[in-house]
Homo-oligomer: A and B are copies of this chain.
Amino acid sequence: MAQVKNNYQFEDMLQKHNLKKTAPRLRVLSMMYSKNTATSQPDLESVMNDIDRVTLYRILNTFEEKGIIHKVFDLNGTANYAVCHSDCKENHHHDEHLHFNCTACKNVYCINELNMPRLTLPAGFEPQAFTLYASGLCPKCSKKGAARVN
The copy count of this chain in the complex is: 2
Candidates B78, B109, B117; contact of A119 at CB < 8 Å: B117
Is the CB of A29 closer than 8 A to any CB of chain B?
no
Chain A interface size band reads: 35 or more
CB distance from A137 to the nearest CB of B (A): 4
Contact partners of A103 in chain B: CB under 8 A: 128
- The residues in A between 92 and 150 inclusive whose CB is less than 8 angstroms from any CB of B are 98, 100, 103, 109, 111, 113-114, 117, 119, 121-140, 142-143
Which of B73, B100, B129, B143 is A134 in contact with, Cβ under 8 Å?
A: B129
Establish whether residues B119 and A139, one from each chain, have CB atoms under 8 Å apart when the complex forms: no
CB of A79 within 8 Å of the partner chain = yes
Q: Report Cα–Cα, A140/B131, bound state, in Å.
A: 22
Q: Which residues of B contact A139 (CB under 8 A)?
A: 123-125
Q: Mark A20-50, 1 if CB is under 8 A from B, else 0.
A: 0000000000000000000000000000000
Q: A77-B79, A132-B130, A133-B132 are in contact. Are A124 and B111 (CB under 8 A)?
A: no
